[in-house]
Amino acid sequence: MAKTKIGPQPIIYPMPTFLVGANVDGKPNFMAVAWSGMANGSPPVITVALYYKRHTYRGIRENMTFSVNMPSTDMVKETDYCGITSGAKVDKVKVCKFDVFYGKLKSVPLIEQCPVNMECKVMHILDVGDHALVVGRIEEMHVSDECLTNGKPDINKIKPFAYITTPHLYYQAMGEVIAKSHSIGKELKARE
Amino acid sequence: MAKTKIGPQPIIYPMPTFLVGANVDGKPNFMAVAWSGMANGSPPVITVALYYKRHTYRGIRENMTFSVNMPSTDMVKETDYCGITSGAKVDKVKVCKFDVFYGKLKSVPLIEQCPVNMECKVMHILDVGDHALVVGRIEEMHVSDECLTNGKPDINKIKPFAYITTPHLYYQAMGEVIAKSHSIGKELKARE
């Protein structure tokens, strides 16, 4: 299998598509973020990478808190809008008709229309280049009742989507289940 | 839309499924990692979160380098195997029949069968709880020629998959394209 070196590039698959929120000067604002990952299990910790000049980043620094909201495929238009506009110029909440609510942390705006919402407290901010890597402890999670199955968030009801950058810029839904994890690999144990 | 508080949990959708590699005592080893995200664009930086006791983590500390290999859906069995076994007990490379190659960084084992391979140098290791958050600069990327379209990695040829934890543990392929990004959101500009 011949390989080509393409140089270092920020490309991984799949990346999630989130709406990261913060109050900026006391007003809720949200931006689209794909550069995010889990960082820890106990306690649950998440990373989000934000370009320093982002309006939302100013709000995160102001309050040292932020939200991670997971949109459904039916919110792709609003999500994209939040990625191509700045809260310094437009009121995204008004344009997108988001219903904003607050939970445990009073400075963390959450979007009711998103099936999953996380309230986060900043633990660290790492300077890694042109982006700030914000590392936050998840303090509380809210899930829309119709997206729960036996009390657990159900991806098939949440309908999240990925942000893809190559070969083109687009959003992609999740597809078919291909295998059970912690299970299918056991078939190789016979080779040990 | 009624919401239920489920408490802080390490659940995001979609999470990628990677095989993170390192030489441990000079021998290549790989583990399955879903807790990973992009952290920076210029230079490209990636995070991977590893439980401290992992054999692979020992190799990362030893060399301060690691690889991120992106498997295709046809490698789900090998990927799962690397997630449920320890390199301290079995030779995963042998069992999975991985062809290992080395690129720019001589201490970073790469899996030829994976369509995308990243060579990374550790920039930071953050103690965030029971996992180490390893922050690495991507030094080089290798892509299998048949997965390139006009010189760019093509997700439709790479066929990556996600790791899902709720409501059940499984791996899920990518689905349909739902919208162009930096595009569909413009439809809301009329509301500004």
* Residue type, position A180, single letter: K
Token pair for residue B41? 């664009």
Mean pLDDT within B167-188: 96
Q: Least CB-CB distance to B49: which of A40, A176, A186?
A: A40
**In chain A, % of residues over pLDDT 70:** 99
Question: In this prediction, what percent of chain B has a pLDDT beyond 90?
Answer: 99
Average pLDDT of span B111-138: 97
Q: CB under 8 Å to A154, separation ≥6 — which residues?
A: A147, A148, B166, B167
Measured between CB atoms, does A13 come within 8 Å of chain B? yes
Residue among B8, B146, B186 whose CB faces A139 most closely? B8
Residue pLDDT, tens place only, A152-187: 999 999 999 999 999 899 999 999 999 999 999 999
pLDDT in the model for residue A15: 98
Asked, as a colleague might, if the bond just before A115 is cis with ω within 30 of 0, I would say no
What would the mean pLDDT of A86-91 be, rounded to a whole number? 97
Mean pLDDT score, A96-106:
97
Residue B1 has pLDDT above 80, yes or no: no
Residue B52 φ then ψ, to 5°:
-55, -35
Q: What is the pLDDT of residue B55?
A: 96
Partner-chain contact B133 A47, CB within 8 Å: yes
Name the residue among B175, B71, B51 with its Cα closest to residue A155: B175
pLDDT at A50 over 90: yes
Reported residue count of chain A is 192
CB–CB contact B137 A80 (8 Å):
no
The pLDDT value given to residue A154: 96
Q: Which residues of B touch A15 (CB under 8 A)?
A: 16, 37-38
Q: Is the pLDDT of residue B11 over 90?
A: yes
| pLDDT number for residue A138 | 98
Q: Which residue of A has its CA nearest to B87?
A: A192
For residue B44, the model assigns a pLDDT of 98
Residues 46-105 of B with CB under 8 A from A: 46-47, 49, 68, 70, 73, 76-85, 90, 95-96, 103
Full-model pTM: 0.97
Q: What is the pLDDT of residue B178?
A: 97
**Average pLDDT of the segment spanning A98-123:** 98
Instruction: Give the Cα separation of A48 and B73 in Å (integer).
Output: 27
Instruction: Count CA within 13 A, CB hemisphere, residue B5.
Output: 10
